[in-house]
Amino acid sequence: MPDSSKAEFDVVLWGATGFTGRLVAEYLARNQDTHRARWALAGRDRARLEQVRSGLAALNPACAGLPVLLGDARDTASLDALVARTRVIISTVGPYARYGNELVAACARGGTDYCDLTGEVQWMRRMIDAHHAQARETGARIVHTCGFDSIPSDLGMLTLQEHMREHHGGHCSRVRFHVTKMRGGFSGGTVASLLQSVDESMANRDVRRVLGNPHALDPEPRRGSPEERDQLGVRYSRELGRWTGPFVMAAVNTRVVRRSNALLGYPWGREFVYSEVSSFAPGVKGMLNAAGLSAGLGAFMVATTVPAVRRLLERKVLPAPGEGPSAEERERGHFEVRLVGEGTSGKSGRPVRLEAKVAASGDPGYAATSRMLAESALCLAFDEVPAQGGVLTPASSMGLRLVERLRRAGMTFEVRELQTP
C-alpha cells in the first residue's frame, strides 16, 4: 500500500474549469481548513485552469501560486502520474460513465482516495465490479455520491440510526425520507449525466435491469421487496400526514443507503425498508402539487426518449455543459429533508418513532453540493476515518466524522423523538 503521507498534495481538484468544479475551487479557497492543505487545480487546459486560479486569487491572495496540473481523462499514463502526487482527488468531470472510468481505475491502482458527485447508478455498479477488490488491497477509498445525492440521505440515515442505537438500543427497521423544502436549479453537467443514463438504458437491457433494481449497488445485488420500489405516482401518506409524489433522486439515494447498510455489516437489519418521496401539504392544494410533479417528471422522461423532442429540449430549454444557476439563484436556494424512522427499543421492547432533519442554505445541487464535496475530500485527507479501502459510500467511509464537518460548515443534522400511535 502506498505511503500517502509522502504525497506532494493533500487534495487535487480534477475538473476545476467546469461549472461545479469552479464552485468547489471557490469553496476551498475560502475555507479555513484548506489553509493547512496542500492543494492543486487539475484539468486538460492550462489556460483555463490559470484563469480559474486568477479568480481564486481575488478571493484569497494565497491562491495566486496554486499549482496547476495537467491530464487527460482518457490517458492512463497522465492519470497515473496525477494520482501519484496526491492523497485525495476530487472529480467533477461528468458524465462519469463517459469520462470517469480511467481516473477511478488509476486511484484504485495507486491507493489514492477519491470522491465525486455522480448520480449514475449504472456506472457506480461497473466501478464496484471492476475496482472494489483492488481498492481494498491498495487502501484506496473510492467514495461516490458526495453531493446532494446522496449525503443528506446517507448521512441523515446514519444520524437517525446512531441516535436510535445510543438512546434506545436496536435500530429503525423502516425509514421514509421526504423532501419538505427545496429550491434550486440545474446545470448542463447534471443534464448531461441524466441524458447519459437515459441513453444507456435505452441501448442496453442490462443497464435497465440495474437502474430498476432497488439493491443494484449492494455487494451482492438481490431482488427487493415490492415496497422498496421507487414511488412514481401520487399517494396520501398516513405515516407523514401529507400527500406524496416521486422524488427525482430516489433511484440513486435509496441504492446508496442500502449499500451503506450492507457495507457496515447490516446494523439496520437485513429486512430494513427504506424509501424516498417528495411531500406536500395534506389538503387539496397539496394533492394537486403532487400530481403536477408526478406528471411533469413522467412527461420529461418520456420526452428524453423521443429524438425530435429531445433535440428541441437540448437546443431551447436545457442548459448546455458549463452553464448553470447564477450566483444570485444559488444563494437563494435551500433544501430541507426529513427522515421518519420506526423501530423497537432494545431496552424496553416498546415502539419508537424518530425524525431526523437535514437542511442547508444555498442551491442544493451547486452551493450546498460544492460544500459537501469539498468537505468530503478534506475529511478523507485529514480526519480519523475508517482506513479500509474499496468502492464505498459517505456513511460507510467517513460516517459521523463527515457529519461533524458538515455541521461546522453550516448544515443541519438533528434528530427528535416523535410520539408513537
What is the reported pLDDT for 35? 67
Residues 6+ apart with CB under 8 A from 203: none
205-212 and 121-138 helices cross at what angle (nearest 10)?
80
State pLDDT tens for residues 379-396: 999 999 977 899 999 999
The answer on pLDDT for 66 being more than 80 is yes
Statement to judge: residues 393 and 341 lie in one domain = no
Q: Which grid coordinates are listed for 388?
A: 479500509
Residue 10: what are its φ and ψ, rounded to 5°? -85, -40
Pairing, β 9-14 against β 86-91 = parallel
Res. 4: pLDDT tops 70: no
Q: Are residues 376 and 257 part of one domain?
A: no
- Are residues 44 and 179 both part of a single domain? no
Are 117 and 253 found together in one domain? no
**Closest among 354, 362, 395 to 376, alpha carbons compared:** 395
Answer yes or no: do 187 and 203 share one domain: yes
Distance, CA of 142 to CA of 104 (rounded, Å): 7
Residue of higher predicted confidence among 138 and 5: 138
The pLDDT value given to residue 313: 80
Range of the domain at 136: 4-147+370-401
* Cell digits of residue 346: 432494545
Residue 302 has pLDDT above 90, yes or no: no
Do the beta carbons of residue 147 and residue 373 sit within 8 Å? yes
pLDDT at 267 over 90: yes
82 and 158 share one domain: no
Peptide bond into 150 cis (omega under 30): yes
pLDDT of residue 3: 53
Burial class (CB in 10 A: 0-12, 13-18, 19+), 270: exposed
Q: Is the pLDDT of residue 82 over 70?
A: yes
- Single-letter code of the amino acid located at 200: E
| Contact between 339 and 151 (Cβ < 8 Å) | no
Judged against a pLDDT cut of 70, whether residue 2 lies above it is answered with no
Q: Cα 58 to chain center, whole Å?
A: 29
Using pLDDT thresholds of 50, 70 and 90, give the confidence band for residue 34. low
Q: Is the pLDDT of residue 122 over 50?
A: yes
Residue 321 has pLDDT above 90, yes or no: no
Would you state the pLDDT for residue 5?
61
**172 and 242, same structural domain?**
yes
Closest CA to 383 of 36, 14, 109, 28: 36
User: Which CATH number covers residue 29?
Assistant: 3.40.50.720
- Same structural domain, 184 and 307: yes
**What digits encode the pLDDT tens for the residues 221-262?**
888 788 889 999 999 998 889 999 999 899 999 999 999 999
Three-state secondary structure readout of 259-302: HHHHHCCCCCCCCCEEEEEEEECCCHHHHHHHHHHHHHHHHHHH
CA 174 distance to own-chain centroid: 22
One domain, residues 166 and 229 = yes
Residues 64 and 171 in one domain: no
Tell me the pTM: 0.94
Chain position carrying cell 427545496: 182
Same-domain pairing of 165 and 81 = no
Do 173 and 242 have their domain in common? Answer: yes
Choose among 15, 18, 17: nearest CA to 319.
18
Q: Kind and range of the H or E element at 177? A: strand 172-183
**Structural domain tally of the chain?**
2
